[in-house]
Amino acid sequence: MNLKISVFFRAIPLLMGAICLAFGLYVREMGVGDGYIIAGNVLISLTAICIALFATAATIIRQIIKRYTKADKVFYPILGYAAGIITFICGIMLFTSGGSSADFVSGNVVSGVGLIACCVATVAISSGKFSKITENSSVLTYGQPVKDGYSKQTYAIYFSIPIICTMIALIRGIILLAGGSTPSLVAGHVMIGLGLICACLIALVATILRQIQNKFGNAERWKWSIFVAVLGTTCLIWGILLMIPYSAAMVAPGFVLIGLGLICYSISSKVLLLASVWRRSAPLGKRIPMIPVMTALSCLFLAAFLFEASYTNPSFFVPAHIIVGLGAVCFTLFAIVSILESGTAKSS
Q: Residue 261's closest CA among 181, 175, 327, 345?
A: 327
Closest alpha carbon to 266 in 301, 232, 292, 285:
292
Cβ-based neighbours of 3, under 8 Å, separated by 6 or more? 65
DSSP state of 245: S
What values do phi and psi take at 282, rounded to 5?
-135, 80
d(CA 162, CA 200): 9
pLDDT at 136 over 90: no
Mean of pLDDT over the chain: 91
Predicted confidence (pLDDT) per residue in 185-215, tens digit:
999 999 999 999 999 999 999 999 999 998 8
Distance (Å, rounded) from C-alpha 47 to C-alpha 14?
Answer: 9
Is the CA virtual torsion 9, 261, 42, 33 positive or negative?
A: positive
Alpha helix stretches (DSSP H) within the chain = 3-30, 34-64, 70-95, 101-126, 131-139, 152-179, 182-212, 223-242, 248-277, 290-310, 317-343
pLDDT value, residue 47: 97
> Biggest alpha carbon distance in the chain?
63
Q: 216: domain range?
A: 3-347
Please report the pLDDT score of residue 36 as a whole number. 92
In total, how many domains does the chain have?
1
pLDDT 10s digits, 276-308: 888 777 666 778 889 999 999 999 999 999 999
Taking a C-beta distance cutoff of 8 angstroms, is the pair 38, 95 a contact?
Answer: no
Contact 90, 158 (CB under 8 A): no
For residue 307, what pLDDT is reported?
Answer: 93
Q: Tens of pLDDT along 72-89?
A: 999 999 999 999 999 999
pLDDT of amino acid 153: 94
- Residue 293's nearest CA partner among 333, 260, 261 is 333
164-184 pLDDT, tens digit each: 999 999 999 999 999 888 999
Mind listing the pLDDT tens digit for each residue in 208-232? 999 999 888 888 888 999 999 999 9
Q: Minimal CA–CA distance to 315: which of 243, 239, 236, 262?
A: 243
Determine if the peptide bond prior to 245 is cis (ω within 30°): yes
Q: What single letter denotes the amino acid at residue 137?
A: S
